[in-house]
Amino acid sequence: MTGQALIVIPCLNEAAHLPALLQQFRTDNPGALIVVADGGSTDGSRQIVAQLGEVDARIVLMDNPDRIQSAGINRAIAQFGDGHMWLARIDAHCAYPPGYVEQLVAAGVSRNAVSVVVPMFTTGKSCFQKAAAAAQNSVIGTGGSAHRSQGGGAYVDHGHHALMRIDAFRGAGGYNLAMSHNEDAELDHRLSQLGKIWLEPGCTITYYPRATPTALWRQYRNYGKGRAQTLQLHKMRPKLRQMVPLLVPIALFVALAAPIFPLLALPLLAWALLSIIAGALIGWRKRSRCAALSGLAAMIMHMAWGLGFLGQTVVGQPPAPVTT
C-alpha to C-alpha distance for 323 and 171, rounded to whole angstroms? 10
Per-residue pLDDT at 144 = 62
CATH of region 2-121+146-207? 3.90.550.10
Give residue 33's pLDDT: 96
Average pLDDT over residues 265-283: 97
Which of residues 298 and 146 earns the better pLDDT score?
A: 298
User: Hey, what amino acid is at 242?
Assistant: Q
pLDDT at 279 over 80: yes
pLDDT tens column, 131-170: 999 999 998 887 766 656 666 789 999 999 999 999 999 9
Task: Report whether pLDDT(296) > 80.
Answer: yes
- Given a cut of 80, whether residue 323 has pLDDT beyond it is no
Coil, helix or strand for 266? Answer: helix
Helical segments of 143-212, H only? 166-172, 183-191
Query: What's the chain's length in residues?
Result: 324
Please provide the average confidence, as pLDDT, over all residues in the chain. Answer: 93
pLDDT score of 1: 52
Q: What is the pLDDT of residues 304-313, one digit of tens each?
A: 999 999 999 9
C-alpha of 149 from chain center = 14
Angle, CA 254 vertex, CA 249 and CA 257 arms, to 5°: 140
pLDDT value, residue 237: 87
Q: Examine the pLDDT at 25 and tell me if it is beyond 60.
A: yes
Mean local confidence (pLDDT), 78-106: 94
pLDDT for residue 240:
82
R_g over Cα of the chain: 20
What whole-number distance in Å separates Cα of residue 140 and Cα of residue 296?
11
Confidence band of 31 (pLDDT split at 50, 70, 90):
confident
Average pLDDT over residues 258-266: 96
Q: What is the largest CA-CA distance in the chain?
A: 71
d(CA 54, CA 47): 11
Please say whether the beta carbons of 132 and 290 come within 8 A.
no
Q: How confident is the model at residue 242 (pLDDT cuts 50, 70, 90)?
A: confident
Tens of pLDDT, residues 194-215: 999 999 998 999 999 999 999 9
Amino acid at 96: Y
Query: How far apart are alpha carbons 49 and 18 in whole angstroms?
Result: 8
Instruction: Work out whether the CA dihedral 161, 95, 152, 182 comes out positive or negative.
Output: negative
Residue 278's alpha-carbon distances to 57, 175, 296, in angstroms, are 51, 37, 10
CATH 3.90.550.10 positions along the chain are 2-121+146-207
How does residue 108 score in pLDDT terms, banded at 50, 70 and 90? very high
What pLDDT digit, counting tens, does each position of 176-195 carry? 999 989 999 999 999 999 99
pLDDT(271) > 90: yes
pTM: 0.90
- Residue 21 · residue 101 · CB < 8 Å: no
For residue 20, the surrounding DSSP H or E stretch is helix 18-28
Q: What are phi and psi of 211, to 5 degrees?
A: -90, -10
What pLDDT band is residue 220 in, cutting at 50, 70 and 90?
A: very high
Q: Is there a contact between 172 and 126 (Cβ–Cβ < 8 Å)? A: no
Residue type, 317: Q
Pairing of strands 33-38, 94-95: unpaired
